Amino acid sequence: MNRRPILEGIEWLGAIDWNRRLFDALIPLPEGTSYNAWLVRGTERTALLDTADPTTGHLLMAQLADVERVDYVIAHHAEQDHSGMIPAVLARYPEAKLVATPRCLAMLADLMDLPPDRAMPVKDGETLDLGGRTLTFMHMPWVHWPETMVTWLEQDRVLFSCDLFGSHLATADLFATADVYEPAKRYYAEIMMPFRALIAKHLDRIAPLEPAMICPSHGPAYRDPAFILTAYREWVSAPPANRVVIPYVSMHGSTAMLVDHLVASLTDRGIPVQPFDLTVTDLGDLAVALVDAATVVFASPAFLGGAHPLVVSTAYLAGCLKPKALYAGFMSSSSWGGKIADSLAALMPQLKVEVLPPVTVKGMPRADDLAAVDALAATIAEKHQALGG
Contact residues: ligand FEO, CB under 6 A: 77, 79, 81-82, 144, 163, 217-218
Residue 198 CA to residue 238 CA, distance in Å, equals 15
Instruction: Give the nearest distance from C-beta 75 to ligand FEO in angstroms.
Output: 11
Instruction: Give the nearest distance from C-beta 147 to ligand FEO in angstroms.
Output: 10
Exposure b/e, 274-301, CB count within 10 A at least 16 = b: bbbebeebebbbbbbbbbbbbbbbbbbb
Residue 254 CA to residue 332 CA, distance in Å, equals 9
CB 117 within 8 A of CB 91: no
CB 365 within 8 A of CB 335: no
- Burial of residue 101 (CB within 10 Å: 0-12, 13-18, 19+) is buried
Q: Which C-beta is closer to ligand FEO: that of 31 or that of 81? A: 81
Q: What residue type is assigned to position 322 of the chain?
A: K
Q: Which positions ≥6 away from 185 have C-beta within 8 Å?
A: 231, 235, 288, 291
Instruction: Give the nearest distance from C-beta 72 to ligand FEO in angstroms.
Output: 20
Number of H helices, E strands in the chain: 12, 21
Instruction: Give the nearest distance from C-beta 179 to ligand FEO in angstroms.
Output: 20
Q: Which C-beta is closer to ligand FEO: that of 79 or that of 292? A: 79
Instruction: Give the nearest distance from C-beta 302 to ligand FEO in angstroms.
Output: 38
**Euclidean distance between the first and the last CA atom of the chain, given in angstroms as a whole number:** 47
Q: Which residue is nearest to ligand FEO (CB)?
A: 79
Collapsed DSSP state (helix, strand, coil) of residue 286 = helix
Closest C-alpha among 234, 101, 218 to residue 161: 218
- Burial of residue 318 (CB within 10 Å: 0-12, 13-18, 19+) is buried
Instruction: Give the nearest distance from C-beta 330 to ligand FEO in angstroms.
Output: 32
Q: Which C-beta is closer to ligand FEO: that of 194 or that of 358? A: 194
The alpha carbon of 99 is separated from its chain's Cα centroid by a whole number of angstroms, namely 25
Q: Which C-beta is closer to ligand FEO: that of 32 or that of 306? A: 32
Instruction: Give the nearest distance from C-beta 163 to ligand FEO in angstroms.
Output: 5
Instruction: Give the nearest distance from C-beta 288 to ligand FEO in angstroms.
Output: 18
Q: Which C-beta is closer to ligand FEO: that of 11 or that of 81? A: 81
Instruction: Give the nearest distance from C-beta 290 to ligand FEO in angstroms.
Output: 20
Q: Which positions ≥6 away from 79 have C-beta within 8 Å?
A: 145, 163
Work out whether strand 97-100 and strand 46-49 pair parallel, antiparallel, or are unpaired.
unpaired
The number of C-alpha atoms within 13 Å of 150 and in the hemisphere containing its C-beta is 28
